[in-house]
Amino acid sequence: MTAHGAVHTPAFIPVGTKATVKSLTSDEVQASGTGMFFVNTYHLYLEPGDEVVKRLGGLHRFMHWDGPIITDSGGFQVFSLGSKKFGKIHGDDVESLVKVTDDGVEFKSYSDGSAHFFSPEKSLTIQQNLGADIILPLDECTPNHVRKKYAKQSLNRTHEWAKRSLEFFNTRKNKNQALYGIVQGSVFEDLRKNSARLISSLPFSGIAIGGVSVGETKKEVRHVLDWIVPILPENKPRHLLGVGEIDDIFTLVEKGIDTFDCVLPTRMGRMGKLLTKQKWGKRTSYDSGQKLQRHYEIDVLKTEFKEDKLPPDPTCPCFVCRQYSRAYLRHLFKARELLAYRLATFHNLYFIQNLMHDIRRSIEDGSFAQLKKTWIGV
């Protein structure tokens, strides 16, 4: 339960990077079956600014969304966008344009190169200004296959930031906000378990799991969950950051994850890739690094759909599938009509939320294993 309502779990949380799911209104996001939004602190801090959002009544009023909102710390974007645009992170070496110290992280804006600094306290202040229901402490998200020496150093720093964040949060506590802790540790079992124990021992309202969407294989992600989930307290909600493909969803639910966010369904929609229960193409290995979701996806831009009268998914009851054909959506994309992005994005988001509804119902009636087998065959 949050100040803006309950979240029915397990739940997929769409990412509204800049306080919007691109091309959709908040009413349309709600109509898709979405109950909670994920918004990126980094982007709103840069534009229009967290103080502006605060003066305008906070995120809920700003984006016309009455449901729960979760914001991240901004740390992931600091490291991913900063390293891509202005520098690189390789093991022990962090270039000066993304400089990490025990005090916090100095970085340059991905858009204009201006200099900024996030400390644990600064990150929480920004999120408190934004007014989200659930906020996250600053952490360092290390890149995939980082050397263990640096992963350990980074984890120790993240843990200290977590303690500082709790102390700061408690001095400025907002009864309408909950602070989750973040488990890190890369792909190293001992580091992950140590992090799970430490974060679980601290008085966070919930637990987030980070660092599992930066290049790891699906097998590695499952290993991380196998290591840490048994350690996490059962009475606190668990959120996994940045994962949400079809097969991943079943894995996360099976492992006991309550909520998870991902940009993939909506980003795919803007690229003309539509989710469908109809299986297409050759099935990939469940343990490979390849994306199994491609098995449930059509690229509507392909010539084969030029005269296809079928809806994106014949079994889907969303308004897009009730009213429009694959041929029409292909035409919109080819003509670069803006309506293409709205229709495809809404369908994909509805498709995922409808799947989550089926998953929740299957858990209630004991048919989850059969539903999983129907979808991914294992």
By DSSP bridging, strand 238-240 and strand 259-262 are parallel
Residues 55 and 101 reside in one and the same domain: yes
Q: Is 248 considered catalytic here? A: no
Characterize 198-229 residue by residue with b for buried, 16 or more Cβ atoms within 10 angstroms of its Cβ, and e for exposed. Answer: bbbeeebebbbbbbbbbebebebbbebbebbb
Tokens 């600053």 sit at which residue? 138
Does 333 lie in the same domain as 299? Answer: yes
d(CA 71, CA 279): 35
Query: In terms of domains, do 49 and 146 share one?
Result: yes
- Say if residue 123's pLDDT is above 80: yes
Determine which of 25-34, 138-147, 265-274, 367-376 has the lowest per-residue pLDDT on average: 138-147
Q: Is the pLDDT of residue 374 over 70?
A: yes
Do 223 and 308 fall within a single domain? no
Interstrand relation of 93-94 and 89-90 (parallel, antiparallel or unpaired): antiparallel
- Domain assignment present for residue 2? The answer is no
Q: Domain range holding 111?
A: 11-262
Evaluate whether residue 3 is within a structural domain: no
Q: Summarize the confidence of residues 24-52 as an average pLDDT.
A: 97
Residues 333 and 316 in one domain: yes
Residues 316 and 232 in one domain: no
Q: Are 161 and 231 contained in the same domain?
A: yes
Rg (C-alpha) for the chain, rounded Å, is 21
Q: Which of 159-163, 172-176, 189-193, 368-372 has the lowest mean pLDDT?
A: 172-176
- In a domain, residue 1? The reply is no
**228: in domain:** yes
pLDDT band for position 287 (cuts 50, 70, 90): very low
Among residues of the chain, what percentage have pLDDT more than 90?
A: 78
Answer yes or no: do 296 and 187 share one domain: no
Does the pLDDT of residue 18 top 70, yes or no?
yes
Q: How many domains does the chain have?
A: 2
Asked whether residue 294 is assigned to any structural domain, the reply reads: yes
Tell whether the model's pLDDT for residue 246 goes beyond 50: yes
Identify whether 261 is a catalytic site residue: yes
Q: For residue 4, tell me if it sits in a domain.
A: no
**Residue 58 and residue 152 in one domain:** yes
Q: Which of 72, 133, 139, 248 is catalytic?
A: 72
Both 51 and 195 in one domain: the answer is yes
Q: Which of 262, 292, 321 is the last residue of a domain?
A: 262
b/e for 329-355, b at 16 or more Cβ within 10 A? bbebbeeeeeebbbbbbbbbbbbbbbb
Per annotation, catalytic residue among 50, 248, 261, 313: 261
3-state DSSP of the chain: CECCECCCCCEEEEECCCCCCCCCCHHHHHHCCCCCEEECHHHHHHCCCHHHHHHCCHHHHHCCCCCCEEECCCHHHHHHHHHHHCCCEECCEECCCEEECCCCEEEECCCCCCEEEECHHHHHHHHHHHCCCEECCCCCCCCCCCCHHHHHHHHHHHHHHHHHHHHHHHHCCCCCCEEEEEECCCCCHHHHHHHHHHHHHCCCCEEEECCCCCCCCHHHHHHHHHHHHHHCCCCCCEEECCCCCHHHHHHHHHHCCCEEEECHHHHHHHCCEEECCCCCCCCCCCCCCCCHHHHHEEECCCHHHCCCCCCCCCCCCCHHHHHCCHHHHHHHHHCCCCHHHHHHHHHHHHHHHHHHHHHHHHHHHCCHHHHHHHHHCC
Span 291-324, pLDDT tens digits: 444 578 999 999 999 999 999 999 999 999 999 9
Q: Choose between 33 and 213: higher pLDDT.
A: 33
> Are 331 and 277 found together in one domain?
yes
Domain boundary among 214, 247, 262: 262
Of 210, 204, 209, 208, the residue nearest 179 (C-alpha): 204
- 296 in any annotated domain: yes
What average pLDDT does the structure give for the chain? 91
Looking at the domain assignment, is residue 48 inside a domain? Answer: yes
> What digits encode the pLDDT tens for the residues 176-187?
999 999 999 999
Name the domain boundary from 213, 239, 262.
262
Instruction: Clarify whether residues 88 and 208 are in a common domain.
Output: yes
**pLDDT, position 88:** 45
